Structure 1
Amino acid sequence: MIQLAPVTVPKASDVLAAELRERILSSEFTEGAALPPERELVVQTQMSRATVREALRILEVQGLVRIKIGRGGGAFVQLPGKDSVASSVNLLIRGRKIRLSSLLETREAIEPYCARLAAVHRTDDDLAVLDAANRTIADEGSTMAGFLQANVDWHVAVATAGHNELLAGLMTALSRAIYTATENERFVNTEVRRVAARAHRSITDAIRAQDPEAAARRMTRHVHGYADAALKADERTEITVDDR
């Protein structure tokens, strides 16, 4: 007797979302363009209004459309950027409870190359963002929260200055997770802040001078030193990214 395997039929909303997603990613629908109105999609696809709405919600969650309500509203195409990468990586970090040591290892592996790219591709606008973060980092009167946010801003700005959206998204997620994990007086004190300020200025100077070798070398020294200090400060009680 011939045996047949169970047949799984995909949901209609998943099928429609997949077709629209492919058309967006293949540039048939360009960024900022409006998708056909809901009523038109119902007529064209012969699917129910509920199915069409669910398909559009799927695309909204995936960051491929933004929904505007009201007059002039509708579904408008948007393309994934570094924020989409950062969001996905952040979910992985928190969902898998990635330990601080692994985050630091990952940063040591990729951030020196980010600094190298920044020295090659940086613009005046990129330097302005780095300089603004450095001023806050060097201000010993700034709060802990202000210092940590400026630290995140600086590391993200280095990756952004390399004009590689994938690396920038990854560094955004890593930087936020690392500084969330080290947001406590056990590690971040006045001396740590001063060392960070000096290192950041030195790396920024190399990026400004468009010296990729110096930028990568100084960033390697900085992130390696930070990793050593963070892990030594936490020898007795390990920090995870979910510590608040």
Structure 2
Amino acid sequence: MAQSGLRPQKTAMLVAQRIVEGINKRGNKVGDKLPPERVMLEEYDIGRGTLRESLRFLELQGVITLKPGPGGGPIVKQPDGMALATAITLLLQFENAPFRTIVEARTALEPMMAKLAAERISAEQLATLKHSVDHMRANLDDEEIFVEMSRVFHDTVAKGSGNAIFGYLIHALLDMLDGSAVGMEYPQRSRVATCDIHEKIYLAVAGGDAAAALTAMEEHIDAIWRYEQKHYPEVLDTPIAWGNRG
């Protein structure tokens, strides 16, 4: 075989990269089936074991799903932030980094995201942002909805920045520090204050006021930091570990 001199694991990684390149070149969309196994074995000039290792790696990265049975095979998926969250979590765990690391990162990043969102957000994203504020406001007695809409809000601001790195990074950070999963609670007064500042940020973004959006997000993240520092310092000081979040 053309790649017989390479270690199997290295070959599998190279083949995985070529499979992704093929997905892009063919213009495959989510839900499309990839070529059958016999075609890929011939195209990449590899053995069945190496191909299956490549496909398992891509499945773990969220690039494909492997559908079993007749008519099954690899199906294209849309990768999300889960693989990134896992990678960052493992890196931070070996650094013995505490959860406050995540809050500090948000403090530095999210105001800039809000500023960019005020300049770049799409009409569809703006509608999602407004829905998250309105739905939160209408359900302040439901903490589950509050947490969900808060996440939607911050995810949408990040994506609305027009910078894909910001979008995936905030998704990963929020996934790593899910307040409800690590034991944080949000009383009614805190929920009302959060909804108010979300609305303030939304209005700044909707009005294209980048400076106001940046300032409002700084105010919001600072309030989150102060609330968590006051009520949950033990959580913030807990070392990040893979699996100790929801």
Q: Give the paired residue count.
A: 234
Q: Which whole-Å CA distance do the structure 2 matches of 1:96 and 1:237 have between them? A: 17
CA distance in 1, matches of 2:67, 2:113: 36
Instruction: Name the residue aligned to 1:122.
Output: 121
Is the Cα contact below 8 Å between 1:84 and 1:169 reproduced in 2?
Answer: no
Q: Is the 8 A contact 1:117 1:162 kept in 2?
A: yes
- The 8 Å contact of residues 152 and 176 in structure 1, kept in 2 or not, is answered as no
Deviations along 1:160-198, whole A, 9 cap, x unmatched? Answer: 11122210111112223334266434xx11111111111
Q: 1:65-88: per-residue Cα shift (whole Å, max 9, x none)?
A: 333445554334557555554454
Which of residues 14, 19, 28 is equivalent to 2:15?
19
Task: Write out per-residue CA displacement over residues 10-61 of structure 1, whole angstroms, 9 at most, x where no aligned residue.
Answer: 5435404413414634844543465442123334555432332222212222
Q: Which residue among 196, 199, 202 is the counterpart of 2:197?
A: 199
Superposition RMSD on alpha carbons, in Å? 3.1
| TM-score between both structures, scaled by the size of structure 1 | 0.79
2:188 to 180, 187, 190: 190
Larger of the two Rg values belongs to structure: 1
Between the aligned partners of 1:35 and 1:79, the Cα distance in structure 2 is: 14
Would the aligned equivalents of 2:139 and 2:145 in 1 still touch at CA under 8 Å? Answer: no
Q: CA deviation at 1:112?
A: 0.3
Matched, 1:39 2:35: no
**Matched position secondary structure for 1:142:** coil
Alignment CA distance shift 1:109-1:88 (3 Å):
same
Q: What's the secondary structure of 1:205's corresponding residue?
A: helix
Could you say if the C-alpha distance between residues 103 and 43 of structure 1 is closer, same or farther in structure 2, counting changes exceeding 3 Å? closer
**Structure 1 residue aligned with 2:99:** 100
Find the aligned partners of 2:182 and 2:41 in 1 and give their Cα distance: 51
Mapping of 1:79-228 within 5 angstroms?
A: 80=79, 82=81, 84-86=83-85, 88-89=87-88, 92=91, 98-139=97-138, 141-180=140-179, 183-185=183-185, 188-228=186-226
Following TM superposition, by how much is the alpha carbon of 1:207 offset from its aligned partner in structure 2, in angstroms?
Answer: 0.3
| 3-state secondary structure, aligned to 1:63 | coil
Q: Which moves more between the two structures, 78-87 or 110-119?
A: 78-87
* Structure 1 pair 79–190 and aligned structure 2 pair: CA distance change class (3 A): closer
Alpha-carbon separation, structure 1, partners of 2:129 and 2:68: 37
Give CA-to-partner distance per residue, 1:183-222, whole Å, 9 cap, x none: 434xx11111111111000000000001111100111111
In structure 1, runs of 5+ residues without a counterpart are 1-8
Q: Do the aligned partners of 1:24 and 1:30 also contact (CA within 8 Å) in 2?
A: no
Structure 2 letter corresponding to 1:222: H
The more displaced of 79-88 and 105-114 is 79-88
Distance 2:230 2:236 in 1: 10
Q: Counterparts of 2:234 and 2:224 in 1: how far apart (Å)?
A: 18
**Change beyond 3 A, Cα 1:238–1:157:** closer
Residue aligned with 2:177, SS: helix
- For 1:225, the aligned partner's letter is A
Whole-Å separation in 2 of the counterparts to 1:15 and 1:117: 41
Q: Distance in 1 between matches of 2:53 and 2:64?
A: 13
2-structure distance, mates of 1:160, 1:46: 39
Deviations 1:62-121 (A, max 9, x none): 333333445554334557555554454455567766423211110010000110111011
